[in-house]
Each structure stands twice: as C-alpha cells, then as structure tokens.
Structure 1
Amino acid sequence: MLLEVHVEKKFADFACRFDFSVSSKKCGVFGPSGNGKSTLMHMISGLLEPDKGLIKLNGTVLYDKEKGINLPPEARRVGVVFQHALLFPHMSVKKNLHYGLKRVTAAEHSINPDQLIRVLQLGGLLDRRVSKLSGGERQRVALGRTILACPHLILLDEPLTGLDHRLKYQIIPDLKRVFAEFSIPLLFISHSLQEMRMMTDEVLVLEDGKVSNHIATEDLARTRLGSGGRGYTNLVDLERPEDTGRLLRYWMGNIPLMLLKTEDAAPGQFALNSRDILLFKKHPEATSARNMLSCVVRKTYQTDWLSGVELDCQGHTLIAEIVPQSLEELDIRPGSKVVAVFKASAFERLW
C-alpha cells in the first residue's frame, strides 16, 4: 500500500496542511482533538474536498485540484468505520453485512463472506436486528460490512471511543485478527496512545493541522516516558496458564511469571506499568514480590523527572521507570546486569 497525501484545507478558524506518504499496512493518525484527524480522514475518503493538492492511493489519483480530478467516495475503494457504527437499523446483521457486497462488482469480490463471518465471530448474530447488539458487536458488524466492499484501504475513525474498558479490549483482538487474515491496509485514527500501540506499527503525529512527526509507534511511546501520571505500559503476551493453588503461573516465552488468580485464566495480553518494576543490582534475599527476572540493560532514556530503563529479559523487552538518583546510585548503564522485581498483582489483563 502506498498512500500519498499533499493537500491544504482552510476553515474560518483553522487551517490544515498535510504533506506525507505512507507505505505501512498498519499506520496510525495520532493527536488530541482539534488537530485535524477527522479532517484528514474525510479528505482521504472523499467526504470533504481539499482546497488544493493531490491524493493518490497505490498510484491511482483520488484527488488532483490542478487536473480537476475528485473521485466520489464510492469510487475510491476506501472504507470507513466510524466511531459510532452507522448500521442500517431496519436490517438484520446478515443484510447489513451483505450490503457491503453490493458496493462492488462480482469480479471485484476477493473476500469470502463465510470466512469473514467466522473470523469476526458473527455466526450466531446473523439473524439478529442491529438494535439488539452490544457496542462491540455493532463495531464488528460495521467492520465486516466495510471489508466485504473489498476496499484497498480502511480508515478507522476512533472506533473504540465510547466503548467501556471491557468491550474495548474484547474487540481489539478481533480487529487485529481480521486485518492480519485479509491483509487489508489500515489508517487507525485515535487520541489513545495505548490503542495505537496495540493496532499500528507507525504513527503520523498531528499538531495544529500538520504532521509534526512520522515515527514508529513504540518510539513515540518511549519519547513520552515520564510525561504523564500513569507511566509507560509494557504490553506483555502471556501463555500457558497453570493453577498453582493461590496464584497462576503464566509463561512469557520460557520465563515463568506469577499472577493473581482470576476467573478468566486464559492466554492473552496483559499490561505491566513501568513504575511497578523495581530494579536491584543483586538478587534480593527476601521480598514479598513473586516475580524476579535477571535482565541486561539495553539503554536508558532521560526525561524531566524520571529515567526509563530498557531491559532485555531473555530476549523479551521490558521498560522500567525510576528516578534519576536511583539510576546514578545503582550505576545503571547499557550492559549492566540487574534484577527486575514486580508483584503478582501488578498485571492487568487487556484481552
């Protein structure tokens, strides 16, 4: 996928000027409200005409002011999934899904509807009215309808905003699964850095109607170490849960980790806050924490009031945040051997 955008748009009190190209299949558009994210999405999809410039997708000109080209939305092969799933309330789930098929010719059908329904886990919902669906189910139906139109690019405009914590992390695996299964490029638009990290590989950072940075998603997250009250979130994939009596033993690769027992003891992705990780130069003789990992320091990151420490834990990366005084007193530097210690209660299941 190659998306090229060189456009300008002026409003009464705001002006946008976007100048970038994207080749990644999983790119984010990140920034707080009021910086042009929705304006950019609407111009790419054809819902808003720029004042001037050029938009190309895979070599096809979608908009060219000088040449008088402005393809209508239905001709651009760009799908949009909005924050509020805009489904047809008078139709069943099945009819909503099949509406996407009607938007392309039979020769352009490249996605098997039955396969998509299986991947999105919609088989049990096909005869249900959309008014009877949960927020997460509605978003899965909206995504399925868009994908069945066989787009060359999908724009997801804040698709998780408005969903509660539980529903949000239920739908993220479905989103990841379907885009991996059908290899469809996406632009994921959000103001949530954590959502960006779970859905994208690189990010366009928008500020004041311009792209201020085009950066790898993880690099963006690490540039913000110490910039908020919550700290950096390590996203940890854990497998093979085992009941040890009072705790659960999970595995991060070949590393055993102890977690609190929960009702949903299953493999998944967990959050571990960087500020919940304590660093020791030697293995502590006694501690109430259940997890102690021998690690090697890869690098350190300096911030205004904290220091980030990137750890290599048998090939797995963890980031810890400590005060600069501790970094100096423990003489932590690249190549140092440390022990990372954290409690069984420090993990939060995401999905």
Structure 2
Amino acid sequence: MHLDVELHKSFGRFDFATGFQIEGSRIGIFGPSGSGKSTLGNLLAGLLPPDAGRVCLNEHCLFDSSTGVNLAPEKRRVAVVFQHAHLFPHLSVRNNLLYGYRRIAARRRKLDIEEVAEALTLGHLLKRRIGGLSGGEKQRVALGRALLACPDLLILDEPLSALDKGLKDQIIPYLRKTLRRFAIPYLYISHSLGEMRLLTDQVLHFSAGRLQEVTDAETLARRRISDNGTGYLNHLHLSDPREVGSMLAYRWGSNELFLIDHGQPRNGLFALASKEVLLFKKHPQALSARNLLCSSILAMTPRGGSVEVRLQCCEEELTAQVVREAALELGLEVGMPIYAAIKASAFRWMA
C-alpha cells in the first residue's frame, strides 16, 4: 500500500495539519488522547471533510481540494473498525458480517464468510443476535464485517480501548492471526505502545495535531523505558513446553526457561518486564529464581535514573533495567559476561 497525504482540518482551538507519504501494510497511528489520531482516520475514510489537502491511496485520488475530488465514504474502499462495534442489533451475526460484502461488486469479493468466521471463531455464533454477544465477540464480528468488505485499506480506530484487560488479551491473538492471514493493509490507531509493538511495523507518531516522527514501536518503547512501572517489555517466542515438576520448561532458541504451570501449556509470544531481570557479576551461590542465563552485555543506554542493559543470551537478546547506582556498583560494561536471573512467575502469555 502507498498512502500520500496532505491534510488540514480546524476545529476552533484545535488545528490538525499533516503531510506524509508512506508505504507498507502494517502501519500504526500513535499518540495521546487529543493528538489527532482519530481525526486522521476519519479524514482518510471520508467521514470528516478536510478544510484543504489531498489523499491518494495506491495512486488513486480519494480527495483533492484543488481539483474538487471528494469521493463518498462508500466509494473509497476504506473500511473502519471503531472503538465500539456499531453493529446492527436487528440482524444476526451472519447478516452483520455480510452487510458490506453484499454491497461490493462480485469481482472484488476475495473472501467468503466461512473462511472469515473460521479465522475469528464465529461459526457457532452466526445465527445469534447481537444483543447476546460479549464485548469481545462484538469486536470480532465488527472486524469480520470489515474484512468481508475486501477494502484496499482497513482502519482500526482504538478497537480495543473499550474492552477490559481480560478481553483485550483475548482479542489481540485474533487480530494478529487474522490480519496476517488475510493480508489487507491497515492503519492501527491506538495510544497503547504494547498494541503498536504487536501489530505494526511502522508508526506515525502524533501530538497536538501534528506528525512528530515516522518511527517504529520498538524505538518508542525503548525511549519510554522509565515512564512506567514495568519498564520495557521483552517479547519472547517460547516453544515446546514440557512438564518439569510443578513448572513448565520452554525452549527459547537454544536456551531453556522455566515458567509457572498455569495449566495451559502452549507455544507463543510471552512478555517479560525488564525490571524482572536481575543481574549478577558472579554465579550466585543460592537463588530462588528458577532461571539463570549466562549472558554478555551488548549495549547500555541511560534512561533517566536507570540504565537499559541489552544482553546476548546465546543467539537471543534480552533487555534488563537497573538503577544507575546499581550499574555503577556492578561496574557494568559492554562486552562483559553477566548472569541474568528471572523468576518462573515473571512471564505472561500474550499471543
């Protein structure tokens, strides 16, 4: 997907203005509340009229104030999934899914309802009415409806912000799997860096109605390592779980990690906070943590009152975070060997 944008929209004291060209299929729109993220999404979808500018999607002009081009939303081939599902309560799940599908030309129909329903685990709900669905199920139906419209661009506008943490954790794996499977280019709008890291490759960072930078979520996350209680979240791909006493042993590259057994052994992506990684210069005599990794220091970066320490653990990388005084007392230097200790309870399954 190629997107060429130059837009201006004024709302009294709030002025939105941006210009960028970007190519890709997994693009994030990131920023705090009031930064203009949803404004951009609505302008691109044709749900909000710009004061001036242009929007070109894959060399196809959707809006140009200089020539008078302004395609109606239904002509833009842009589908939107909002914070709230906005489903039709009088229709079944099946008919909600097919709403956009039935309104596009047969030659543009690249997906079928059975395939989408299977990917989103909606098959058993197709005959149900919307009122009996949970919040997470409604969002899955909204996503399926957007996918079946076979758009050239999918805009996901804070699709998880109305859900509690438990439901978010349930929906993110569906989003990752489904968006990857159907390969429709999308813009993912959110103020959550965690969602950006899981779902995007490039990030447009907005603040106060202006584009601040084009970057990636990893860069943003490392820059903000001192801004929250957990620090940086390591994403570890773990596989091949096996029972070892009351724990599960997973493969992490050529390393073996021990995790608390929560009764659902599964491969996947796990989160580990940088503050949960303890560093030792020498092999500890006794340790309650079940994981001790022989590592070396790849890089060190000051982050406010702490230091980000990037470790090489065999062929894998891990980020620890220590206060500046601890780094000085340990005499940490790039290249030196170090032991990294991690509790079995410190890992959280993500997707």
User: Shorter-normalised TM-score: what interval?
Assistant: over 0.9
TM-score, normalising length from structure 2? 0.97
Partner of 1:3: 3
Is contact 2:294–2:337 with CA below 8 Å preserved after alignment? yes
After superposition, where does 1:124-273 map in structure 2 within 5 Å? Answer: 124-273=124-273
1:220 is displaced (CA, Å) by: 1.0
Q: CA-atom RMSD, angstroms?
A: 1.3
1:90 maps to which residue?
Answer: 90
Amino acid paired to 2:217? T
1:15 aligns to what?
15
Deviates more, 1:118-127 or 1:260-269: 260-269
Q: CA deviation at 1:10?
A: 0.8
Residue 25 (structure 1) aligns with: 25
Report the equivalent of 2:305.
305
Distance (whole Å) between structure 1 residues aligned to residue 103 and residue 38 of structure 2: 24
**Do residues 79 (structure 1) and 65 (structure 2) align?**
no
1:238-263 per-position Cα deviation (integer Å, ceiling 9, x unaligned): 22221212212122223211111213
Distance, in Å, in 1 between the alignment partners of 2:132 and 2:263 is 27
Q: Structure 1 length as normaliser, TM-score?
A: 0.97
Matched residues in 2 for 1:69 and 1:298: separation? 53
1:38-78 Cα offsets, whole Å, 9 max, x none, are 11110000001111111111111111000001111101111
Structure 1 residue aligned with 2:69: 69
1:350 Cα deviation after fit: 2.5
Of 193-202 and 64-73, deviating more is 193-202
Task: Tell me if the contact between 2:254 and 2:315 (Cα under 8 Å) persists in the aligned partners.
Answer: no
- Distance in 2 (alpha carbons) for counterparts of 1:137 and 1:90: 16
Give the deviation of 1:206 after TM superposition: 0.7
Moved more, 13-22 or 325-334: 325-334
Does the 8 Å contact 2:82/2:157 carry over to 1? yes
Alignment of 1:285-304 (within 5 A): 285-304=285-304
- CA shift for structure 1 position 297: 1.8
The 3-state SS of whatever aligns with 2:230 is coil
Match of 2:60 in 1: 60
Q: Does 310-319 or 53-62 show the bigger shift?
A: 310-319
Displacement of 1:227 in angstroms is: 2.2
Secondary structure class of the residue paired with 2:63:
strand
4+ residue runs over 4 A deviation: none
Which sections of structure 2, spanning at least 5 residues, go unmatched?
Answer: none
Question: What's 1:345 paired with?
Answer: 345
Aligned residues of 2:173 and 2:350 also touching (Cα < 8 A):
no
**Residue number in structure 2 paired with 1:280:** 280
Q: Deviations over 1:272-292 (max 9, x none)?
A: 110110112232222111001
Letter in 2 for 1:10: S
Secondary structure of the corresponding residue to residue 67 of structure 2: coil
> Aligned partner of 1:214: which letter?
V
Aligned counterparts of 2:100 and 2:315: Cα–Cα separation in 1: 43
**Partner AA of 2:258 in structure 1:** M
For 2:198, give the aligned amino acid.
M
Q: Deviations over 1:196-219 (max 9, x none)?
A: 111111211111100111101111
Distance 1:48 1:55 in 2: 13
Which 10-residue stretch deviates more, 325-334 or 62-71?
Answer: 325-334
Aligned residues: 351
Residue identity over aligned pairs, in percent, reads: 45
The AA in structure 2 aligned to 1:245 is G
**What is the alpha-carbon distance in structure 2 between the residues aligned to residue 336 and residue 207 of structure 1?**
40
Q: Residue type matched to 1:215 in 2?
A: T
Q: Residue 118 of structure 1: CA displacement?
A: 1.4
Query: How far off its partner does 1:132 sit?
Result: 1.1
Deviations 1:294-318 (A, max 9, x none): 1222211111101101112222221
Please give the alpha-carbon distance, in whole angstroms, between the structure 2 residues aligned to 1:250 and 1:326: 30
